[in-house]
Amino acid sequence: MLRIIVCVKIVPKPEEVSVDPETWRLDRSHARSEINPPDMNAMEIALRLKDRHGARLDILSMGPPFFDPILRVALAMGADHVTLLSDRAFGGADTLATTYTLAKGIEKLGGADLIICGEESSDGATGQVPAGLAEWLDIGQITMVHDAQVDLERRVVRGRREIKGGHEILETTLPAVLSVATACNEPRFMDYRIKEWAFDPEQVTVWGRNDIDADPDLIGAPGSPTIVSGLEEATSRERKRRFLQGSPEDIARQLSAVIRQAI
Ligand SMILES: Cc1cc2nc3c(=O)[nH]c(=O)nc-3n(C[C@H](O)[C@H](O)[C@H](O)COP(=O)(O)OP(=O)(O)OC[C@H]3O[C@@H](n4cnc5c(N)ncnc54)[C@H](O)[C@@H]3O)c2cc1C
């Protein structure tokens, strides 16, 4: 049977996050949390594959315990089980440590034919996690897919990417990582008939550092070489409108001088 793991990040609702004007830190304390919207698209691709082939669909997430009830939405949509990697030792992780921790979780789950991620998160938005996972797991990847098809006999996955003026199909062998293009499909609603099952405590497993046998030097702050060395407000340039006068040659000369000055 096809085995799929969808990596789901819980993020604060962007419209409810504010920036502390003194420290420039994000203040998430008043923001409600939700499943990272692109991960809903990733889940829809996984659920379509499950509908077509039959599959065991696991959800994997790393974060604090309060993620638990939000992750159950994925169960009510049709996932089979949720594993939450949660431990104080995972705190302060950059994308390198995050991908290592998620990869250890995937190994502990017994691996999968497909690991499906969103294209990027709505808060960190580096887009580094899918590629990082493929690297740690040493498997192929297809990024930004709009649709995926699996050929179980040939053990390959084909990802369709939309590009300017058409689309391209990329194929790689299983197991593989896919990242899914944001808003490429319409995620299905929860099935309210299984909502009660989804809230059964047994459907979510929480694993800490020892459960996944993670090297303490590669997780959390010790495993994170990235430092935030400064923050600057991104300002946009003031726009001005100026009418240039003269012959076409004069105007071209003036325009060229303005452009030279600006670059
Ligand atoms: C120095 C530093 C310290 C940090 N400290 C913290 C901290 O203490 N606490 C904290 O929460 N964050 C912290 N972060 C942010 C953390 O590194 C990112 O949240 C994480 O690595 C994911 O990166 P991203 O959001 O850019 O994911 P992207 O690469 O943009 O996400 C792509 C996809 O990867 C998957 N994915 C990403 N993150 C997760 C996850 N956690 N679980 C499951 N799937 C996931 C999803 O499918 C998502 O759509 C820190 C970052 C830095 C640089």
Per-residue pLDDT of the chain (263 residues; tens, 9 = 90+): 999 999 999 999 988 988 777 777 778 888 999 999 999 999 999 999 999 999 999 999 999 999 999 999 999 999 999 999 999 999 999 999 999 999 999 999 999 999 999 999 999 899 999 999 999 999 999 999 999 999 999 999 999 999 999 999 999 999 999 999 999 999 999 999 998 999 999 999 999 999 999 999 999 999 999 988 877 777 887 888 889 999 999 999 999 999 998 87
Q: Whose CA is nearest to atom 4 of ligand 1?
A: 92
* Span from the CA of 124 to the centroid of ligand 1 (angstroms): 6
Q: Domains for the chain: give ranges and CATH numbers.
A: 2-223 (3.40.50.620)
Q: Which residue of 7, 11, 34 sits with most ligand 1 atoms within 8 Å of its CB, as the best mutation to test the pocket?
A: 7
Nearest CA to ligand 1 atom 31: 120
User: What pLDDT, on the 0 to 100 scale, is given for residue 14?
Assistant: 87
Task: Give the per-residue pLDDT at 240.
Answer: 82
Q: Which residues line ligand 1 (CB under 6 A)?
A: 7-9, 36, 38-39, 42, 61-63, 91-95, 98, 102, 117-118, 120-121, 123-130, 224, 226-228
pLDDT of residue 27: 80
Strand partners, 98: none
